[in-house]
Amino acid sequence: MTLALNFGLGQAVLLVSRASAEAQNLDALQQLRETLAAQVGSSGKVDFEQVDRIESGAVSLASAQYDYVVANPAEPWAVEHSGRVLASLLLALKPSGSLAMRELVLDSTDSLVQLPITRTKDDLAQQLRFAGFIDSQITSCEPVSESTLQVLGESCWNLTDASAFVARASGHILVATVAAKKPAYNVGAATALSFGKKAKAKNTNDAHVATSQPAQKVWMINVESDDDAEIEDQDNLLEAEDLARPDIAALARPGDSAPRKKACKNCTCGLASGEVVDESLACKPTDKPKKAKKPVDVVNVKSSCGSCSLGDAFRCSSCPYLGMPAFKPGEKVTLGGSMLHDDFMP
């Protein structure tokens, strides 16, 4: 099974695959290259590049050089194109260039384990979209023959028991043919926004119209005429009833009733609850009068902490001895010596 390729004269084609002196597809790749060279003619070109060199970064493909890229076209299709390889192939394509590729896929994710093949056909299509390709589609998906599986197991993947692998993988490994395109722009391309051109054209048309006919003034404010403008007199806005003084009788309390007293804090006559109050009764205060505090006996006070006599640094915040000098316990604190006399001597 080979790709059906038909290119025109003068087109540039890149052939990407894995080939070596021991490879099974060396003759098929050489024959395919000669066929493609005959199709494009002398004015076109057909280049070949190893997929392993692209994967390792040993070679960098030039940007926008090829009309078509043909990847992994010949049996046994033992290449799984990574995201880096697909991105390099996209870069090498010209805008709107096409990709034709074949790759082995699994019929389901849990079919086989411990194999280089890890993707299904849906995963492959998704990987192409992630790389930047558009219009990607799986044109065909066919089972791989047992003879090709035998070559894969023995020569490509170096399996110890290739026959058991063929019996187990038969019908589960498929070869998918993929077609995709590069967008109609190159990486890093820039373009002018369309609304900018429309605005420029509109400004040109407006300028042409402005020169042909005078612009119409919709409205404007004449600042010079503000001094002559008539200002409304505020006194004319008042009516006769607005200027009349109110009657004292109209401001009197309705029914000529006495003002209501305000209830005290500890009301006992019923005024606070809205009851009818007998004026002869008076509220009796319920709060007991506070007793006056006894003065603190600073001299005979007994210390509860035992630190009062040591000085302010050892005293509590409520100590009665604050501000006094240190003394011996039981000793009366007095100010003696020259501290009773003024420092000023006439």
Q: Could you list the mean pLDDT of each consecutive 10-residue stretch along the chain, which spans 346 residues?
A: 72 84 70 88 89 88 90 82 90 91 82 72 90 89 86 79 82 88 82 66 60 60 59 84 81 66 73 66 57 57 77 85 80 60 57
Output the pLDDT for position 68: 92
Q: What is the pTM of this model?
A: 0.52
Please answer whether residues 111 and 157 qualify as being in contact, where contact means their C-beta atoms are separated by less than 8 angstroms: no
Q: What is residue 67's three-state secondary structure?
A: strand
Main-chain dihedrals φ then ψ at residue 111, nearest 5 degrees? -75, -55
CA–CA distance, 206 with 192 (Å, rounded to integer):
22
- Helix locations, the chain, DSSP H: 26-40, 51-56, 83-92, 121-131, 146-151, 162-169, 194-212, 240-243
Q: How far is CA 345 from CA 37, 340, 341, 342, in A?
A: 127, 13, 9, 7
Output the pLDDT for position 192: 73
Neighbour-count burial of 54, counting CB atoms closer than 10 A to its CB (0-12 exposed, 13-18 middle, 19+ buried): buried
Q: How far is CA 288 from CA 13, 97, 285, 291, in A?
A: 111, 103, 8, 9
Output the pLDDT for position 21: 47
Going through the chain in order, the beta strands assigned E by DSSP cover 12-17, 45-50, 66-71, 93-106, 134-143, 173-181
CA–CA distance, 101 with 74 (Å, rounded to integer):
10
* Bond before 76 cis per omega within 30 degrees: yes
Output the pLDDT for position 243: 85
CA–CA distance, 131 with 87 (Å, rounded to integer):
5
Output the pLDDT for position 133: 92
